[in-house]
């Protein structure tokens, strides 16, 4: 007989380990005598004396849908509101379901880049003209 232990200090009460049990004893308060099921993307947790499967995204990267900041997930359960597993790309914004190209942001970047190039070219040209005028 085996005791399958769970962490009863965690809100989801996740499975932690197993140990052999004596046949003539009751399981401890933080253990069940039924083996938990394991499935990819989920983790077994105790609820009302049974194992249930909870979403497990731990060690995956989630992205803030406002700031695009990346965080590593270290908790069991659904992805927190305001985050997604979809990776953002350059010049994108969140449309409520996925990242989409933000044409205004891209256009603004290209304008600033071209203005910077123009300023550099004008500076170089003025320096060349100044050198030629000094001769």
Judge whether 24 lies within some domain: yes
Same domain, 19 and 36: yes
- Note whether residue 126 is domain-resident: no
pLDDT at 132: 84
Is 49 a member of any domain? yes
pLDDT of residue 25: 92
- Statement to judge: residues 86 and 47 lie in one domain: no
Note whether residue 113 is domain-resident: no
Number of domains in the chain: 2
Q: Do residue 45 and residue 16 come from a single domain?
A: yes
Domain match, 6 and 45 both? yes
Residue 128 forms part of a structural domain: no
Q: Are residues 49 and 8 in the same domain?
A: yes
How does pLDDT run across 64-101, given as a tens digit for each residue? 999 999 999 999 999 999 999 999 999 999 999 999 99
Q: Is residue 85 part of a domain?
A: yes
39 and 76, same domain (yes or no): no
Verify that 9 and 34 share a domain, yes or no. yes
Residue 34, pLDDT score:
95
Q: Is residue 123 part of a domain?
A: no
What pLDDT digit, counting tens, does each position of 16-62 carry? 999 999 889 999 999 999 999 999 999 999 999 999 999 999 999 99
pTM (2 d.p.): 0.74
Q: Would you list the DSSP string of the chain?
A: -EEEEE-TTSTT-BEEEEEE--TTSPPPTTEESSPPP--TTEEEEEETTEEEEEEB-TT-EEEETTT--EEE--SBSSPPTTEESSPP-TTEEE-SSSEEE-HHHHHHHHHHHHHHHHHHHHHHHHHHHHHHHT-
Q: Which residue has the tokens 């100044």?
A: 130
**41 assigned to some structural domain:** yes
The domain in which residue 32 lies consists of 2-55
């Amino acid at each position: 007989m085996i005791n399958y232990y769970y962490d009863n200090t965690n809100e989801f009460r996740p499975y932690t380990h197993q140990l052999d049990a004596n046949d003539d004893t009751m399981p401890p308060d933080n253990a069940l005598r039924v083996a938990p099921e394991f499935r990819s993307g989920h983790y077994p947790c105790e609820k009302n004396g049974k194992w249930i499967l909870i979403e497990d995204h731990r060690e995956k990267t989630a992205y803030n849908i406002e700031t695009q900041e990346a965080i590593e997930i270290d908790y069991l359960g659904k992805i927190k509101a305001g985050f997604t597993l979809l990776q953002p790309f350059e010049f994108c914004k969140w449309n409520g379901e996925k990242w989409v190209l933000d044409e205004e942001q891209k256009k603004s970047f290209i304008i600033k880049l071209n203005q910077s190039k123009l300023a550099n070219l004008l500076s170089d040209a003025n320096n060349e003209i100044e050198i030629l005028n000094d001769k």
